[in-house]
Amino acid sequence: MNQTYYLIKCISLWNVVKESSLYFFYKCYYLYVYLKAYAIDSHNRWVFIPGHTLPLALTSISNNVEYLWSYSSTDNKLMYKHCTTPYPFSWLSAKLVIYQNELSVIEYDIDDFLHTFRIATKLHRLPTLTMVFIAWSTYTKQWFKSSSIIEFHIINDSGEDQVLSLHQDNACLHIDQHKIHSYKI
């Protein structure tokens, strides 16, 4: 009976030591993962995966997934693959008008966002207005229903007022004279 008692106590002690060691190991491992993500700023980097409507935070992806566009809210930069040539907007001023329903209209001045916002891309590869809107949403941490009607009210570099709708004018951006311009479709 003594040997059985000591055997059970040893097994219990072994289980306690093993569980405590694993608990400590995983706590240290997750601390390392979080510190590494913070150091390389991957928690502020979002990727647009083809076929998906919203971006995902890079820290949320554990496998190797192909993406064409990424957005860094720290740098306020939307980037196509590994392009490094940044293009600013030519817009002098802009505001977002969001119609959530017939009675609810919200306006946001996005001049501060656009002042630092850059798009690094190739001449023939431009983002859509939806991607610009999602970048603004990520930057300001404000999200809206997918059924909302979203319009960009802008003053272009010629001083003309333009109203661009995400639904109708989504692919209206082009590069001219090293700046991103918009044209009404």
DSSP states of 67-91: -SEEEETTTTEEEETT---EE-B--
Model confidence at 1: pLDDT above 70: no
The pLDDT of residue 185 is 63
What pLDDT is recorded for position 123? 84
Nearest 5°: phi and psi at 18? -65, -50
Q: What percent of the chain lies above the pLDDT cut of 90?
A: 46
Q: Per the confidence metrics, is the pTM higher than 0.85?
A: no
CA 20/CA 13 separation, integer angstroms: 11
> Is the confidence at residue 3, as pLDDT, over 90?
no
Q: Which two tokens stand for residue 45?
A: 């980097």
Higher pLDDT, 58 or 110: 110
Ranges assigned E (strand) in 32-178: 45-48, 56-57, 69-72, 77-80, 86-87, 93-99, 105-109, 118-120, 149-155, 161-165, 173-176
60/32 Cα distance (integer angstroms)? 16
Residues 113-142 have a mean pLDDT of 92
How big is the chain, counted in residues? Answer: 185
| For residues 91-111, average pLDDT | 90
pLDDT at 32: 92
Per-residue pLDDT band for 23 (boundaries 50, 70, 90) equals very high
Average pLDDT, the chain: 89
pLDDT at residue 177, rounded to an integer: 87
Q: Residue 34 pLDDT more than 80?
A: yes
Give backbone dihedrals phi and psi of 139, rounded to 5 degrees, phi first.
-65, -45
